[in-house]
């Protein structure tokens, strides 16, 4: 069987997905393709698992699954992880055959190559009839629990449901989609890699995510109210949060921050206010940009992108290469907006521009 899925370009939203914000995503022309041939043992790169071995793996706690897979190349964890999750939830009865992966999506540049691999694998293993939002949640579970990367659900939904040439609005609470919006006539959205690899499992991303959950817990304690998502918190309460806060002091006072896929490190300092406020601010920016897109108002979308880019820098997800590239893009005729995208820390800068304005840049992701 064969499955495929595109990558995604993150027009607006990025790391605000785990805060429950509205994000605006687009599928790429580039994609990942997974073929599963034969009915023998499940072969993924150097790994060969019999049906019984895979079933046993699917019955183990996720912590044990990660231990078993640790010696294998990291890319195989995504494929095997999806198989484990599908078996665990009885979406498929077994997983057999030799897995072949091909992709023209660049890896580690922040365009959801891992989510594309996950969704393509799930489709190749027989989950193509699963409703797309459920499929996205299963693939996110594989990345969170088997791979160990603390991603939100934005990428998986975008690559499972995106329509080429349109912007997909996703409300990440936990995930629902609105009607797609066509890119206004004469404009295009492109990704311009910075040349700096991004890793959603890296320390800056984990730190920013944990800080947002810490801030939510602190606001709830201070106000005596609870909210489902950090993006719902009142701005006045968030503004009163400290700029940075000690992990050890947080653990001593609150213990748990409420996030199942990150931990608070007692030896770390966390950018609490910036990370917590970003979700709420980006949610409002997403709504503003969506209205502007429907009106063909590129200037307003560009304004939202600039504010989002500044937010990445403030919570520690910026990178000098990304800032340089944003400035370089904005200095060119026909460019309306540019920002760090995805998980930041390098990766890819997403650009809103007139059609053809960056055609001389050969490495663009479209």
- Assess if residue 70 is contained within a domain: yes
pLDDT above 70 coverage of the chain, percent: 99
What's the pLDDT tens digit per position in 272-321? 999 999 999 999 999 999 999 999 999 999 999 999 999 999 999 999 99
Q: How confident is the model at residue 107 (pLDDT cuts 50, 70, 90)?
A: confident
- Assess if residue 299 is contained within a domain: no
Residue 105 scores a pLDDT above 80: yes
Q: How many domains does the chain have?
A: 1
Average pLDDT of every residue of the chain: 96
> For the domain that residue 122 is a member of, what is the CATH number?
3.30.230.10
Residues 297 and 348 sit within 8 Å (Cβ to Cβ) = no
Q: What is the pLDDT of residue 201?
A: 61
Q: What is the pLDDT of residue 271?
A: 98
- Assess if residue 351 is contained within a domain: no
Output the pTM of the full model. 0.94
Residue 209 scores a pLDDT above 90: yes
- Assess if residue 23 is contained within a domain: yes
What's the pLDDT tens digit per position in 55-97? 999 999 999 999 999 999 999 999 999 999 999 999 999 999 9
- Assess if residue 128 is contained within a domain: yes
Neighbour-count burial for 204-241, b at 16+ CB within 10 Å, e otherwise: bbbbbbbbbbbbbbbbbeeeeeeeebbbbbeeebbeeb
- Assess if residue 245 is contained within a domain: no
Q: How confident is the model at residue 200 (pLDDT cuts 50, 70, 90)?
A: low
- Assess if residue 55 is contained within a domain: yes
How far is 120 from 104, CA to CA, in rounded Å? 13
- Assess if residue 331 is contained within a domain: no
- Structural domain for 148, as ranges: 2-182
Q: What is the pLDDT of residue 362?
A: 86
How far is 67 from 62, CA to CA, in rounded Å? 9
């Amino acid at each position: 069987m064969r499955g495929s899925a595109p990558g995604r370009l993150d027009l607006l939203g990025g790391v605000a997905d785990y805060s429950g914000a509205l994000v605006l995503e687009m599928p790429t022309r580039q994609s990942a393709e997974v073929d599963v041939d034969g009915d023998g043992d499940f072969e993924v790169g150097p790994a060969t698992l019999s049906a019984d071995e895979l079933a046993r793996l699917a019955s183990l706690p996720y912590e044990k699954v990660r231990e078993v897979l640790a010696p294998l190349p990291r890319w195989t964890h995504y494929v095997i992880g999806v198989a484990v999750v599908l078996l665990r939830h009885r979406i498929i009865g077994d997983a057999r055959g030799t897995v072949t992966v091909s992709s023209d999506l660049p890896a580690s540049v922040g365009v959801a190559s891992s989510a594309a691999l996950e969704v393509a694998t799930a489709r190749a293993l027989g989950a193509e009839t699963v409703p797309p939002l459920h499929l996205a949640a299963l693939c996110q579970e594989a990345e969170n629990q088997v791979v160990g990367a603390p991603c939100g659900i934005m990428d998986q939904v975008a690559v499972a449901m995106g329509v080429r040439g349109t912007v997909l609005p996703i409300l990440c609470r936990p995930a629902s989609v609105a009607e797609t919006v066509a890119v206004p006539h004469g404009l295009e959205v492109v990704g311009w890699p910075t040349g700096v690899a991004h890793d959603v499992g890296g320390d800056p991303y984990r730190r920013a995510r944990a800080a947002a959950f810490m801030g939510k817990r602190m606001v709830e304690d201070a106000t005596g109210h609870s909210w489902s998502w950090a993006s719902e918190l009142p701005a006045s309460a968030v503004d009163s949060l400290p700029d940075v806060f000690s992990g050890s002091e947080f653990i001593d006072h609150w213990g748990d921050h409420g996030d199942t896929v990150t931990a608070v490190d007692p030896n770390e300092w966390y950018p609490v206010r910036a990370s917590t406020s970003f979700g709420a601010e980006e949610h409002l920016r997403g709504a503003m940009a969506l209205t502007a897109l429907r009106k063909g108002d590129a200037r307003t979308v560009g304004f939202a992108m600039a504010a989002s880019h500044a937010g990445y820098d403030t919570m520690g997800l910026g990178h000098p290469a990304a800032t340089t590239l944003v400035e370089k893009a904005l200095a060119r005729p026909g460019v309306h907006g540019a920002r760090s995208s995805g998980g930041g820390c390098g990766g890819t800068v997403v650009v809103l521009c007139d059609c053809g304005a960056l055609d001389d840049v050969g490495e663009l992701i479209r």
